[in-house]
């Protein structure tokens, strides 16, 4: 009986050692991948920063003019949608609902 237990323990130790070896083997390829990922990220940040330096930023006057154009367009579209909604509300209530 004692021999069976020691053999069983040895077998378990051997299985554990094999699992540890395979786990270490699986981890080794990940290290270069992690370093490669960090390299890609830092490269992305550096390239993004270089592109931002090339951007021609608008002046304050251009920003104000653009804002005014957008606000006027929003007001025009809003008024159009309000009038359209009011007309169709009456059409639907009179024609389709018969009220």
Do residues 30 and 23 make contact, with C-beta atoms less than 8 angstroms apart? no
Asked if the model's pLDDT at residue 27 lies above 90, the reply is: no
Q: Which residues have a Cβ under 8 Å from the Cβ of 66 and sit 6 or more positions away?
A: 58
Do residues 58 and 66 make contact, with C-beta atoms less than 8 angstroms apart? yes
Give the span between the Cα atoms of 24 and 32, in whole angstroms: 14
Q: What is the mean pLDDT of residues 46-62?
A: 93
pTM score over 0.85: no
């Amino acid at each position: 009986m004692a021999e069976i237990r020691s053999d069983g323990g040895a077998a378990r130790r051997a299985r554990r050692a094999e699992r540890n070896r395979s786990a270490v083997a699986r981890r080794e390829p990940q290290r270069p991948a992690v370093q490669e990922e960090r390299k890609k990220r830092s490269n992305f940040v550096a390239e993004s920063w270089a592109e931002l330096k090339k951007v021609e930023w608008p002046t304050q006057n251009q920003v104000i003019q653009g804002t005014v154009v957008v606000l006027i367009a929003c007001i025009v579209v809003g008024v159009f949608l309000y009038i359209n909604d009011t007309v169709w509300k009456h059409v639907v209530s009179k024609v389709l609902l018969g009220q």
